């Protein structure tokens, strides 16, 4: 059996275009604080004090390296260890660190949830405004001449929902 060389090219389907989704920018300091909190979970004051000493040692070692001069994660980790050590020093003896009882962590979680709610409200307002615009274009008879915009799928879904609920309430 003989085969031709080079192998025959077959018709390939083009790859689907990748759609880049917007991503949250990376914050090394936030990552460092989260790592420290995960490691500290369940530690008592003595274990946190030992981890704080290790973090101080690492900070001294890092200060000797020029490439780590602009690093914000190391100092953020050290500050978080210091904060947790102070939190446990002020607490009753035998208390262990828990994320659920840390007021700073809970405030950050509340702020993140509020930001998500705000983004959802902004998106709903944008969809409603575009739906009103589409309705005005429809009433003017110029909808067919209008170029669709990115996100008009959500407007169509909104209209379908609105028309469906209108029909349901009219049938009652």
Task: Say if residue 40 is in the same domain as residue 75.
Answer: yes
Residues 97 and 128 in one domain: no
The per-residue pLDDT for range 52-64, each reduced to its tens digit, is 999 999 989 888 8
Q: Are the C-beta atoms of residues 40 and 86 closer than 8 Å to each other?
A: no
User: At 99, is the secondary structure helix, strand, or coil?
Assistant: helix
Q: Which of 61, 87, 91, 90 is nearest to 74 (CA)?
A: 61
CA end-to-end span of the chain: 76
Instruction: Verify that 83 and 129 share a domain, yes or no.
Output: no
* Bigger pLDDT: 107 vs 20: 107
**pLDDT tens digits, one per residue of 85-137:** 999 999 999 899 999 999 999 999 999 999 999 999 998 888 888 878 877 87
pTM equals 0.64
Alpha helices in the chain (DSSP H): 28-40, 45-62, 73-90, 103-140, 152-171
A 10 A CB-CB count for 65 gives 9
Full residue range of the structural domain in which residue 165 is found: 116-172
- Number of structural domains the chain divides into: 2
Question: pLDDT digits over 128-168, tens only?
Answer: 888 788 778 777 877 666 676 776 777 777 667 666 655 44
The pLDDT assigned to 20 comes to 63
């Amino acid at each position: 059996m003989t085969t031709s060389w080079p192998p025959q090219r077959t018709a390939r389907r083009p790859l689907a275009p990748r759609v880049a989704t917007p991503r949250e920018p990376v914050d090394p300091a936030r990552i460092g604080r989260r790592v420290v909190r995960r490691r500290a979970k369940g530690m008592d004051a003595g274990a946190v004090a030992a981890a704080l000493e290790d973090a101080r040692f690492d900070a001294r070692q890092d200060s000797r390296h020029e490439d780590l001069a602009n690093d914000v994660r190391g100092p953020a980790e050290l500050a978080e260890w210091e904060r947790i050590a102070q939190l446990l020093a002020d607490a009753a003896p035998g208390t262990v660190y828990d994320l659920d009882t840390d007021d700073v962590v809970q405030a950050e979680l509340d702020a993140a949830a509020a930001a998500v709610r705000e983004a959802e409200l902004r998106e709903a307002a944008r969809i409603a405004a575009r739906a009103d615009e589409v309705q005005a274009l429809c009433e003017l008879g110029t909808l067919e001449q209008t170029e669709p915009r990115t996100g008009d799928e959500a407007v169509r879904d909104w209209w379908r929902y609105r028309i469906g609920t209108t029909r349901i309430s009219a049938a009652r």
